[in-house]
Chain A
């Protein structure tokens, strides 16, 4: 059991600054997810925590111990790689028991613990196979088995599910959540998939360009994104963002988008704000009769997803279409002219630098 703290950690490859001044505290037993577009430095962060990569600046603490200059194997961390990184010439049992063997654990003890881990991961019938004889999901389990056998204090996952097909990904996601519940250990999980982040995380750190844009619980990030990047990145389909100009009429702030003025009931707008961006999630738009609502729209495309439908609307607000999420059976079809209502309590406003105005 251990917490993880990063103090002013930075990383540069040559002259390229990849991570800038990272400060983060991961609580003991927490499952923290790093999410961000590919190339933003997620893997580098994880590799610095594991010790596979040196830090250029800053300090890393695990369980109150400064491990900045401690060898990877002494940090009591385990890592599951995107590529699984199973040793192809060894059987599943030898893969799982590799670390114990290096630590000169007696063979009988290794066999016992490998069997135990295999049972919990339901891979006991596979112990004699070679990795190439396993399916992707089985390989992932073996990789997880190899990481849990030495009882590490911190688990690091680097996009462990991205090589699996969609159905398997959802199942393995659930299993990782179960594993976290059962072991109760600190986990740091990296993904570029916001759905994975939302479903797994106690807290999410949204990473962009080597910095954390926002850190918070999934719903916090969803409901109160700190900036446009987070607003767009979290949530699927992503938030509608509409550029506009803020005006104040009769003491009530409003935003003009295209020819439409939308009154902003929520929160005061700092004086002097002019260019701004309005954000509204697809589920906070609703269809009403033509001529009613906040503005008019024309249905362009309807995507039926089963329980719900995504409706793409042409409006006067901007050139791009807006996405609206409605429950199935809305009766809307392409070409319909409708009115659109915004949920006034759920609007997001961002200033010209992309920061949320609250």
Chain B
């Protein structure tokens, strides 16, 4: 009656919706606060990377005279060209691969073997041994640095890559064992027993059942170990002396020694040096999926 034009429908509808819909909630400051905090942290973490990126595309002159955070007038790729053409850089890369790949593979292999035993083949004193191995994670490297130096010196292995491979393998075992044991523990025991009844031995249970189901754990470990060993600075610094044996992280610093101010080149090498870890991450991240054991048991 009140509305001959018939436009009341929308108004009445909205009123009805408001009556039915949830009451307006009081303003919750938490999501906003958390967002702001996370944003600040993200900026803090990304700023150095941005700084490196900016200096890698500037000429030495621009770096010397300009502002650190300023964009260059023109993107300069000479630093990258210089780094890529430098034979010393090639050597650093090869050395780092020679350390990282075997140490990653070995530490994961040992972790898989030990983790399987701890998870699936309990034995007397096993838990104690497991704790002992895992406690290895908490050793500060500085404590064992001097004894290790004397040990490898005695073996005549100073200025070779062997000590670095060996130490990274050994130091990776605790975390690899811990992670693999915990992952294998989630693989239902009935799967192992079913395989054993079908004629599998323990090795076949591991390689055909447990490992294929543990790809997420293996991917995480591979990424972690690769990144950690690739980026290591301390052990190569201690055990290598000649430029021929240096790894990439030392190489970045060495470049500084060869040129007076080499921020641009260093920035370029830093970015190139982080590419392998990025590639490893991108390659393995598709295995970081859950639910691999879904459908194994029960409905």
Q: Is the CB of B296 within 8 A of A81?
A: no
A289 at the interface (CB under 8 A from B): no
Stretch at the interface among A17-25, A128-136, A230-238: A128-136
Interface residues on A, range: 20 to 34
Closest to A74 in B: B199
Q: Is the CB of A86 within 8 A of B295?
A: yes
Q: Closest CB of chain B to A39's CB: distance in Å?
A: 18
* Complex Cα–Cα for A88 and B209 (A): 9
Q: Using an 8 Å CB-CB cutoff, how does the interface string of B274-299 with A read, 1 for contact, 0 for none?
A: 00000000000000000011111111
A42 at the interface (CB under 8 A from B): no
Stretch at the interface among B94-102, B106-114, B190-198, B264-272: B190-198
Q: Closest CB of chain B to A95's CB: distance in Å?
A: 9
- A79 contacts across to B, CB distance below 8 A: 193-194, 197
- A103 contacts across to B, CB distance below 8 A: 199
Q: Which among A84, A132, A134 has the highest number of chain B CB atoms within 10 Å?
A: A84
- A89 contacts across to B, CB distance below 8 A: 212-213, 292
Q: Closest CB of chain B to A80's CB: distance in Å?
A: 9
Please count how many residues in chain B sit with their CB below 8 Å of the partner chain's CB atoms.
23
* Complex Cα–Cα for A103 and B298 (A): 28
Closest to B291 in A: A132
Q: Is the CB of A88 within 8 A of B295?
A: yes
- A150 contacts across to B, CB distance below 8 A: 198
- B196 contacts across to A, CB distance below 8 A: 52, 72-73
* Complex Cα–Cα for A86 and B213 (A): 12
Q: Using an 8 Å CB-CB cutoff, how does the interface string of B119-136 with A read, 1 for contact, 0 for none?
A: 000000000000000000
Interface residues of B in 175-201 (CB under 8 A from A): 188, 190-191, 193-200
Closest to A103 in B: B199
B254 at the interface (CB under 8 A from A): no
A78 at the interface (CB under 8 A from B): yes
A5 at the interface (CB under 8 A from B): no
Q: Is the CB of B295 within 8 A of A134?
A: yes
Q: Is the CB of A102 within 8 A of B198?
A: yes
- B200 contacts across to A, CB distance below 8 A: 73, 98, 102
- A131 contacts across to B, CB distance below 8 A: 295-296
Q: Is the CB of A98 within 8 A of B296?
A: no
Q: Closest CB of chain B to A332's CB: distance in Å?
A: 40
Q: Closest CB of chain A to B215's CB: distance in Å?
A: 9
A163 at the interface (CB under 8 A from B): yes
* Complex Cα–Cα for A139 and B212 (A): 20
Q: Closest CB of chain A to B199's CB: distance in Å?
A: 4
- A130 contacts across to B, CB distance below 8 A: 295
- B188 contacts across to A, CB distance below 8 A: 83, 85
Q: Is the CB of B296 within 8 A of A73?
A: no
Q: Which among B196, B295, B298 has the highest number of chain A CB atoms within 10 Å?
A: B295
Closest to A139 in B: B299
* Complex Cα–Cα for A164 and B294 (A): 17
* Complex Cα–Cα for A163 and B292 (A): 21
* Complex Cα–Cα for A173 and B209 (A): 30
B153 at the interface (CB under 8 A from A): no
CB contact under 8 A between A78 and B197, given known A89-B212, A136-B299, A163-B298: yes
- B199 contacts across to A, CB distance below 8 A: 73, 99, 102-103
- A84 contacts across to B, CB distance below 8 A: 297-298
- A136 contacts across to B, CB distance below 8 A: 299
Closest to B191 in A: A85
Q: Is the CB of B296 within 8 A of A85?
A: yes
Closest to B294 in A: A132
| Beyond A136-B299, A146-B194, A146-B198, 12 extra complex contacts between A and B, CB < 8 Å | A52-B196, A73-B198, A79-B197, A83-B297, A83-B298, A85-B194, A88-B293, A98-B195, A103-B199, A134-B295, A139-B299, A163-B299
Q: Across chains A and B, which 10 residue pairs bring their CB atoms closest together, nearest first?
A: A132-B295, A83-B297, A99-B198, A85-B190, A136-B299, A73-B199, A85-B194, A88-B296, A131-B295, A102-B199
18 contacts between A and B (CB under 8 A): A52-B197, A81-B190, A81-B193, A81-B194, A81-B297, A83-B297, A83-B298, A86-B297, A87-B195, A88-B296, A98-B198, A98-B200, A99-B198, A103-B199, A130-B295, A131-B296, A146-B194, A164-B299
Residues of A that sit less than 8 Å from B by CB: 50, 52, 72-73, 77-79, 81, 83-89, 98-99, 102-103, 130-136, 139, 146, 150, 163-164
